[in-house]
Amino acid sequence: MNKKNIINSILENIKTIIGALIIAIIIRSFIFQPFYIPSSSMEPTLLIGDRIFVSKYTYGFSKHSFPFSPSVFNERIFYKKPEQGDLVVFKTPADNRTDYIKRLIGLPGDEIQFIEGNIFINDKEIVRKKINTSNSIRCGKFSFKVNTYEEILPNGIKHIAVYNESGTLKNTKKFKVPKNHFFFLGDNRDCSKDSRYLGYVNFVNLVGKARMIFFSNDTVKGSLLKFWNLKNSFRFDRLFRKIK
Catalytic residues, by residue number, are 41, 102
Contact 230, 224 (CB under 8 A): yes
For residue 166, report the phi and psi dihedrals to the nearest 5 degrees: -95, 0
Tell me, what amino acid is at 147? N
Question: In angstroms, rounded to a whole number, what is the distance separating the alpha carbons of residues 57 and 49?
Answer: 25
Q: In what order do the strands lie in the sheet with 127-139?
A: 127-139, 142-152, 158-164
Tell me, what amino acid is at 60? G
Question: In angstroms, rounded to a whole number, what is the distance separating the alpha carbons of residues 17 and 23?
Answer: 10
- Smallest CA-to-CA distance from 114 within 192, 201, 185 is with 185
